Chain A
Amino acid sequence: MRDIAIQIAYIVSAGIFIMGIKMLGSATTARRGNRLSAIGMLLAVIITLFDQGIVSAGIQGYAWIAGGIALGALIGGILAKRVQMTGMPEMVALLNGFGGLASLLVAWAEYATLPVLGLLPVSGEMRFTLIVSALTVIVGGITFTGSLVAYLKLSGKMSGRPFLFAGQKAINFVVMLVLVAATVVLALALKDYSATAFYTLIGGAFLLGVLGVIPIGGGDMPVVISLLNSLSGVAASFAGFIIGNTVLIVAGCLVGASGLILTVIMCKAMNRTLGNVLFGGFGAASSGSGGGAEQGEMKAVSTEDAYYILEAARSVVVIPGYGMAVAQAQHVVKELGELLENNGAEIRYAIHPVAGRMPGHMNVLLAEADVPYEQLVEMDNINPIMPTVDVAIVIGANDVVNPAAATDPSSPIYGMPIINAHEAKTVFALKRGKGTGFSGLENKLFFMPNTRMIYGDAKATVADLVSQMKG
């Protein structure tokens, strides 16, 4: 009877997750959807406390569980509260990695409690469990180290450039073969080799996660995180098979499938394919490819000159990118926007679907700075009116405004939809230095006759413009 009640509660919990994911997909209901799914999670955790295995472990079992949850909640709460909005992508990567490792450890803990292998005839179901354990370790391990590499790349603790070396694909292939072999050995349940096979699986999965993500450039990290997020769901789902737990299977599988779809949607927004992201070594191409050296030179202006032009402008479009996030310039940018508005200009913020290091990155930052929602314009709506714009201010965006994507078939980013900043009458490009963007490509926009570069920290530059507008 109690088992039936537990199963029914798990079904309710799974239903809540389904509704939660559905609601997360629309702007008006997203926040409620997230809270709803948190309630579903709480329900699943409470129900599990009545699980036969846990009840029979008695008070000691509960003490361990309470300790683990208290410690995890404390660490998770602190991490989530302390992280800056600009650091969100890497935080999601890190948390996701923990989830993958947790699934791996669940498989390991279950494996450690298996009866001594080799003494009993192995049943078909036990073989299945062993195979699923191997798969959980493989997927969970790849998720963990892959997410760690993504975290390091996004937080700048490691170069965002793709890291390629000779024979990379061959090495990956060998590691995969080793993983398959170890899975087979584990499934054979040989007494003397099982432990070795299991540890080989853990090590191999960790290695493959690193090898899989290091060749991918930082600009593609959002897609990678989305894919790893999908994988952590798959790992949880597999772990559910090990312990025969329905809610684990359903919720994990939902995340796996919806995460995969989201990954594909993201790729489409960048006009790329998933295979191209994973195996492209994007940005490793010789920099400045596509016609070699750029024609012309970059023309710099002072903020004073920029101010006079801005002051006379009737319509201004701000195009933010990762540079705005790094400089934490969103608040001064909003201030400048307000001053321009008071000066009689129409101000809009053009958001490229993959500006920054995650989709929606710029929306989050500008929302944080209280920029009115209606001033944010998506790429497809801003491009038709770009030729009528007096001034386009590009703040730390690079690849998403690079005209080469539209005009130069030899460019690695050829075919990616861009914001046509170059069509504005005047373009101000705020940049720290003369370096290239995340993809390592030269940007044709910076050499155009109507473009003026303003070098320096984006925040300082905009603050300077603000004080002149006020003066």
Chain B
Amino acid sequence: METLLLLLFIFTLAAFLGFELISKVPSQLHTPLMSGSNAISGITIVGAMIATAHIGGEAAKWIGFGALVLATINVVGGYVVTDRMLGMFKKKDK
């Protein structure tokens, strides 16, 4: 139970931090920010890895494997797409 309370504590602090982190974002950065945070939400890859290695039976393993593939697509695709987009914003040297 104590672990649980600690986890809730972390969750609450993270929520407040997330709210405070973004204040004035210029609108041209909205999409890269959305896309970049989308890549971060692929953190579920960590859960998928743990689920995949489980020795809890064949079904769980395959479901975990599916989660791992999807989460990795989210992570890799998310970071590459965001980087490509931000690469467009180079200041031109005239």
Residues of A116-131 whose CB lies within 8 A of B: 124-125, 128
Give chain A residues whose Cβ lies under 8 Å from the Cβ of B57. 112-113
Q: Are A37 and B18 in contact (CB under 8 A)?
A: no
User: What distance in Å separates the Cβ of A108 from its nearest Cβ neighbour in chain B?
Assistant: 5
Q: Are B22 and A25 in contact (CB under 8 A)?
A: yes
Stretch at the interface among A16-24, A311-319, A429-437: A16-24
Residues of B58-86 whose CB lies within 8 A of A: 59-61, 63-86
Contact with B along A258-295 (1 / 0, CB 8 A): 11111001100100000000000000000000000000
Of the residues A106, A244, A253, contact of B48 by C-beta under 8 Å: A106
When C-beta atoms are compared, the residue in chain A nearest to B53 turns out to be A61
Main secondary structure of the interface of A (DSSP, over half): helix
Give chain A residues whose Cβ lies under 8 Å from the Cβ of B65. 64, 67-68
Q: A68-B72, A245-B50, A257-B19 are in contact. Are A106 and B32 (CB under 8 A)?
A: no
Give chain A residues whose Cβ lies under 8 Å from the Cβ of B29. 24-27, 30, 360
Q: A64-B61, A237-B11 are in contact. Are A254 and B18 (CB under 8 A)?
A: yes
Give chain A residues whose Cβ lies under 8 Å from the Cβ of B66. 105
User: What distance in Å separates the Cβ of A387 from its nearest Cβ neighbour in chain B?
Assistant: 24
Q: How many A-B residue pairs have CB under 8 A?
A: 387
Most buried by A among B11, B40, B87, B94: B40
Main secondary structure of the interface of B (DSSP, over half): helix
Give chain A residues whose Cβ lies under 8 Å from the Cβ of B4. 125, 128
Q: Cβ of A336 < 8 Å from any Cβ of B?
A: no
**Complex: A370 Cα to B90 Cα, angstroms:** 9
User: What distance in Å separates the Cβ of B62 from its nearest Cβ neighbour in chain A?
Assistant: 8
**Complex: A355 Cα to B28 Cα, angstroms:** 11
Most buried by B among A24, A48, A259: A24
Q: Are B51 and A233 in contact (CB under 8 A)?
A: no
Q: Are B79 and A34 in contact (CB under 8 A)?
A: yes
When C-beta atoms are compared, the residue in chain A nearest to B3 turns out to be A244
Q: Are A360 and B30 in contact (CB under 8 A)?
A: yes
Q: Are B47 and A236 in contact (CB under 8 A)?
A: yes
Of the residues A75, A225, A244, A378, contact of B27 by C-beta under 8 Å: A378
Q: Are A53 and B32 in contact (CB under 8 A)?
A: no
Q: Are A360 and B31 in contact (CB under 8 A)?
A: yes
Q: Cβ of A404 < 8 Å from any Cβ of B?
A: no
Q: Are A53 and B47 in contact (CB under 8 A)?
A: no
Q: Cβ of A150 < 8 Å from any Cβ of B?
A: no
Give chain A residues whose Cβ lies under 8 Å from the Cβ of B90. 367
User: What distance in Å separates the Cβ of B24 from its nearest Cβ neighbour in chain A?
Assistant: 8
- Chain B: interface residue total (CB-CB under 8 A): 83
Q: Cβ of A250 < 8 Å from any Cβ of B?
A: yes
**Complex: A26 Cα to B32 Cα, angstroms:** 11
Residues of A93-110 whose CB lies within 8 A of B: 95-96, 98-99, 101-106, 108-110
Q: Are B37 and A24 in contact (CB under 8 A)?
A: yes
Give chain B residues whose Cβ lies under 8 Å from the Cβ of A69. 45, 68, 72
Q: Cβ of A209 < 8 Å from any Cβ of B?
A: no
Most buried by A among B16, B29, B38, B50: B38
Q: Are B72 and A71 in contact (CB under 8 A)?
A: yes
User: What distance in Å separates the Cβ of A69 from its nearest Cβ neighbour in chain B?
Assistant: 5
Q: Cβ of A88 < 8 Å from any Cβ of B?
A: yes
Q: A25-B22, A91-B81, A102-B71 are in contact. Are A372 and B43 (CB under 8 A)?
A: no
Contact with A along B10-45 (1 / 0, CB 8 A): 110011111101111111111111111111111111
Give chain B residues whose Cβ lies under 8 Å from the Cβ of A41. 39-40, 42-43, 45, 75, 79
**Complex: A239 Cα to B64 Cα, angstroms:** 13
User: What distance in Å separates the Cβ of B43 from its nearest Cβ neighbour in chain A?
Assistant: 4
Stretch at the interface among A76-84, A394-402, A462-470: A76-84
Residues of A1-56 whose CB lies within 8 A of B: 17-18, 20-22, 24-27, 30-31, 33-35, 37-38, 41, 44-45, 48-49, 51, 53-54, 56
Q: Are A105 and B70 in contact (CB under 8 A)?
A: yes
Of the residues B1, B23, B53, B84, contact of A124 by C-beta under 8 Å: B1
Of the residues B11, B36, B76, B82, contact of A76 by C-beta under 8 Å: B76
Residues of A192-220 whose CB lies within 8 A of B: none
Give chain A residues whose Cβ lies under 8 Å from the Cβ of B22. 21, 25, 258, 261-262, 265
B residues in contact (CB < 8 Å) with A: 1, 3-4, 7, 10-11, 14-19, 21-57, 59-61, 63-92, 94
- In the assembled complex, 17 residue pairs joining A and B whose CB atoms fall closer than 8 Å, in A order, are A21-B21, A21-B22, A24-B33, A26-B25, A38-B79, A45-B45, A49-B49, A72-B69, A79-B73, A91-B77, A92-B81, A112-B56, A239-B44, A244-B7, A258-B21, A359-B30, A367-B88
* Given A18-B17, A92-B34, A253-B11, 14 further pairs, Cβ under 8 A: A20-B40, A68-B69, A73-B76, A76-B75, A80-B76, A99-B42, A103-B47, A109-B61, A229-B34, A245-B46, A258-B37, A358-B31, A364-B31, A373-B89
